[in-house]
Amino acid sequence: MAKLNQIIAVEKGVKTKSFQELTDAHQRVQKGALLSGISRTYQPKDEEGEQLPPESTRVQVKGEEVLRSVTGTLTRLFDVTATKDWANCEARADVVVDGTPLLRDVPVSYLLFLEKQLVDVHTFVRKLPILDAAETWTLDPSTDSWRTEPVRTVRTKKVPRNHVKAEATEHHPAQVEMYFEDIAAGYWTTVKFSGALPARRVNELVERVEKLQRAVKFAREEANGAEVTDRRIGDAVFAYLLGNGQGE
């Protein structure tokens, strides 16, 4: 008895072969010359007349033979696909994380969906914003966000000053140079807030997603290892289509 993963492995090849053979068959039956044949002989009017050899062209493509060939190929495709689809309805497995079943009796089709979705979840989680490691953060319940300790800084302003380079004399005025001096004008008290996440939290989320990804993949492989029952669908379909006893 075959396993589901074996049926899945051969299905692609069967599809490719059947498509190619169906295409070839379609092209053959469209060529009228290959479907036509002729046979003719020549008889002179009298015994002294010219003798000509007979001419013949045999039929190279026969519709019924093409039908039988296509039917054989498509019957195989119908059977393989039916076997896979019926088995997909029955193949199930538990998703087990850390030895505990998280999801029970999950169909293989849903495991495939879950596996694909977790790729997107993993990408999303890995890109979550992380708190700046250069700051010390604490959770502030009043804002439901992270905050730093208050930092006090001086606010300065520039005040013009005069610097006398040379005192005035009775012949020359004083030489004065103006400059600006920074003096304290006040104090800023700054508290930073952030809605980002601690690196520890993001790493934990990434680890959980990756652990679930591994569990889902294992469950899918287990489900795909289930034995399948061969389905014979093609014979019934083509017996009806070709009028071989059913549906008449």
- pLDDT at residue 248 above 50? no
pLDDT, position 195: 95
| DSSP string across 178-189 | EEEEEEEEEEEE
Percent of the chain, pLDDT > 70?
98
Show the DSSP H helices in the chain as ranges: 4-29, 32-35, 63-90, 108-126, 199-224, 234-241
Cβ 194 vs Cβ 81: under 8 Å: no
* Averaged pLDDT for residues 196-215: 96
Contacts of 102 (CB under 8 A, 6+ apart): 95, 96, 212, 215
- The pLDDT value given to residue 1: 66
Rg of the chain, C-alpha, whole Å: 43
More confident call, 166 vs 204: 204
Token pair 């997909």 in the structure block, residue: 88
Q: Is the per-residue pLDDT at 148 higher than 80?
A: yes
Rounded average pLDDT over 114-133: 96
Q: Give the span between the Cα atoms of 74 and 59, in whole angstroms.
A: 25
Percent of the chain with pLDDT over 90: 46
